């Protein structure tokens, strides 16, 4: 049997894409293996968002080059967002390592591409504005949470971002296909779905918008929780906020990328909102959704970012008090508009700004989590902790990680837990009252 080793880098969208690939491969009679040395093909699903991500993949490809020396028949492939960049190497390089390069819209034909790559190098990097994989059942990982791609590509063209070039134009999956995927996930035992899209709240399938999608998902029987990531501030309309607030299953948790709190930098980034606009969206979210957890993405050291611009970001983070934040140093990316602009902030200064934001946010995250001490929260239990069987791990509606003593609550069920401690990234809890009895197994009567 043909065996494929598939390794995933980057965001949740890539994880979901790897699940699509795994489904395609298995239906073609191929098997997945977690041992590259036993594989007929190794395939890396790659990320190009920052240079660091690309360097990691290139390092890994070096390891596979050595493996290929021992087994010359091994097919080495690269999928995903680095495909465009790596195509040139595939065709140019003398001591060739890569046999296959396949972009984010080429996964439907993966088995055939792998077979062809045994004879000659293959590059399938065309972007297809109609490809959504909506009809292909993914092979999902274990756990309580199913990731469902609602929208592919991006049309926003932020000046730092490579995604519109690597993933192509924005397209949404039809609502009925998505609801079908949710039903299948629930039937397979998943309790929570997370809709994915680069600007997921701009979802529109021609007939339905993101509000319709949230409401239709909320109505699916047996589904406990719905989340989505990442929305764009400009598309966070009052209707969307109302849907989050009123749909029972939709969790009070929003990840809303800010990127910078300086209007000059926001404009240079082509983010299409001002700080005042973002502030209004945050006020509407917090006003409409009780106990909302809000997180964000921020970039430091964008070309032209002055001390004053940066000070605005610090001031706004201090004012808004995000629950958590992903903080990045600007990384110039080929193809993007900002790539052509001179970098004005040194690596050293970017490092200093980043570290200062990390320290600031860590303190805020810790305080935000400590504010939960004494409260009761509903936990969706996911698994026992890595430390051992005596502790359970789960998430609150706000997506806060929590651990508590194992009282036999089955994974995939909800449990009331009192918060008794907190760090900047985890809550500690004690179960409240009796654990719900697991539903009796159905007895089949002949
Ligand atoms: N450099 C640094 N960070 C970036 N991001 C996107 N492109 C870049 C870049 N060129 C960050 C943004 C985005 C997150 C997914 O990655 O903050 O929201
Ligand atoms: Fe990139 Fe901006 Fe699109 Fe997000 S919205 S994927 S940052 S271009």
Ordered DSSP codes for 164-231 = HHHT-S-EE--HHHHHHHHHHHHHTT--EEEEE-TTGGG-B-SS-BHHHHHHHHHTSTT--EEEEE--
In the chain, % of residues over pLDDT 70? 96
Q: Is the CB of residue 198 below 6 angstroms from any atom belonging to ligand 2?
A: yes
- CA 270 – ligand 2 centroid, Å: 10
Q: Is the CB of residue 48 below 6 angstroms from any atom belonging to ligand 2?
A: no
Q: Is the CB of residue 190 below 6 angstroms from any atom belonging to ligand 1?
A: no
Q: Which H/E stretch holds residue 54?
A: helix 51-70
- CA 256 – ligand 1 centroid, Å: 13
Is the separation of the CB atoms in 78 and 86 below 8 Å?
A: yes
Is the separation of the CB atoms in 285 and 313 below 8 Å?
A: no
Q: Which atom of ligand 2 is nearest to the CA of 271?
A: 2
Let me know if 59 is exposed, middle or buried by CB neighbors in 10 A (0-12, 13-18, 19+).
exposed
Pocket test for ligand 1, best of 328, 329, 334, 343 (most atoms within 8 A of CB): 328
Only one residue has tokens 């209707």, namely: 239
Degrees (nearest 5) of the Cα angle 360, 338, 156? Answer: 85
* CB neighbours of residue 142 within 10 Å: 10
Greatest CA separation found in the chain?
76
Q: Is the CB of residue 164 below 6 angstroms from any atom belonging to ligand 2?
A: yes
Pocket test for ligand 2, best of 12, 151, 156 (most atoms within 8 A of CB): 156
Question: What DSSP string describes 291-349?
Answer: T-EEEEEEEE--TT--HHHHHHHHHHHHHH--SEEEEEE----TTSSGGGSPP-S-HHH
pLDDT at residue 438 is higher than 60: no
Pocket test for ligand 2, best of 12, 161, 232 (most atoms within 8 A of CB): 161
Confidence of residue 85 (pLDDT cuts 50, 70, 90): confident
List pLDDT tens digits, range 261-298: 999 999 999 999 999 999 999 999 999 999 999 999 99
Q: Which atom of ligand 1 is nearest to the CA of 332?
A: 10
Q: Which atom of ligand 1 is nearest to the CA of 259?
A: 17
Residue nearest to atom 7 of ligand 1 (CA): 161
Q: Is the CB of residue 10 below 6 angstroms from any atom belonging to ligand 1?
A: no
List pLDDT tens digits, range 397-413: 999 999 999 999 999 99
Calculate mean pLDDT across residues 431-444: 63
Q: Which H/E stretch holds residue 423?
A: none
Q: Is the dihedral of CA 218, 277, 171, 100 positive or negative?
A: negative
Calculate mean pLDDT across residues 381-391: 87
Of 12, 29, 216, residue with least CA distance to 112: 29
CA–CA dist 203, 72 (Å, integer): 45
Q: Is the CB of residue 297 below 6 angstroms from any atom belonging to ligand 1?
A: yes
pLDDT at residue 390 is higher than 90: yes
What pLDDT sits at residue 437? 57
Q: Which atom of ligand 1 is nearest to the CA of 333?
A: 10
Calculate mean pLDDT across residues 118-131: 93
**Bridge partners, 102 (sequence order):** 79, 124
CA–CA dist 23, 17 (Å, integer): 10
Which ligand does the CA of 198 lie closest to?
A: 2
* 3 state DSSP class of 79: strand
The pTM of this model reads 0.95
- Which residues, including other chains, have CB under 8 Å from residue 120's CB and lie 6 or more apart? none
Which ligand does the CA of 169 lie closest to?
A: 2
- CA 342 – ligand 1 centroid, Å: 18
pLDDT at residue 441 is higher than 60: no
Q: Which atom of ligand 2 is nearest to the CA of 155?
A: 3
């Amino acid at each position: 049997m043909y065996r494929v080793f598939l390794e995933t880098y980057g965001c949740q969208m890539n994880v979901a894409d790897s699940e699509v690939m795994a489904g395609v491969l298995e239906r073609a009679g191929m098997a997945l293996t977690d041992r590259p040395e036993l594989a007929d093909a190794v395939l890396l699903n790659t990320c190009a968002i920052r240079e660091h991500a690309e360097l990691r993949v290139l390092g890994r490809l070096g390891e596979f080059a050595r493996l290929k020396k021992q087994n010359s028949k091994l097919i080495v492939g690269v999928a995903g967002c680095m495909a465009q960049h790596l195509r040139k190497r595939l065709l140019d390089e003398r001591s060739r390592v890569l046999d296959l390069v396949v972009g984010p819209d080429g996964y439907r034909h993966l088995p055939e591409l792998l077979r062809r790559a045994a004879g000659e190098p293959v590059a399938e990097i065309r972007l297809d504005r109609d490809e959504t994989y909506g009809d292909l059942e993914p092979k999902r990982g274990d756990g309580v949470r199913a990731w469902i791609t609602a929208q592919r590509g991006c049309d926003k063209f932020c000046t730092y971002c490579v995604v519109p070039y690597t993933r192509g134009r924005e397209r949404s999956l039809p609502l009925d296909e998505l609801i079908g995927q949710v039903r299948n996930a629930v039937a397979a035992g998943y309790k929570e779905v997370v809709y994915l899209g680069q600007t997921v709240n701009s979802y529109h399938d021609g007939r339905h918008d993101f509000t319709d999608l949230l409401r239709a998902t909320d109505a699916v029987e047996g589904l406990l929780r719905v989340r989505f990531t990442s929305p764009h501030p400009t598309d966070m309309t009052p209707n969307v906020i109302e849907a989050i607030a009123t749909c029972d299953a939709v969790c009070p948790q929003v990840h809303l990328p800010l990127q910078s709190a300086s209007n000059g930098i926001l404009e240079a980034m082509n983010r299409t909102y001002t700080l005042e606009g973002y502030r209004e969206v945050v006020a509407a979210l917090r006003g409409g959704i009780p106990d909302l957890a809000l997180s964000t993405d921020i970039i430091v050291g964008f070309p032209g970012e002055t001390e004053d611009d940066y000070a605005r970001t610090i001031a706004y983070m201090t004012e808004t008090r995000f629950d958590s934040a992903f903080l990045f140093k600007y990384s110039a990316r080929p193809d993007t508009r900002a790539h052509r602009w001179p970098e004005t902030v040194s690596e050293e200064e970017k490092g200093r700004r980043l570290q200062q934001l990390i320290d600031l946010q860590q303190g805020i995250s810790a305080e935000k989590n400590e504010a939960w001490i004494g409260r009761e929260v509903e936990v969706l239990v996911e698994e026992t902790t890595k430390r051992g069987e005596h502790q359970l791990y789960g998430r609150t509606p706000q997506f806060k990680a929590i651990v508590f003593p194992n009282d036999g609550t089955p994974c995939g069920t909800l449990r009331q837990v009192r918060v008794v401690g907190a760090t900047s990234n985890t809550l500690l809890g004690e179960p409240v009252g009796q654990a719900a009895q697991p539903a009796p197994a159905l007895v089949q009567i002949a």
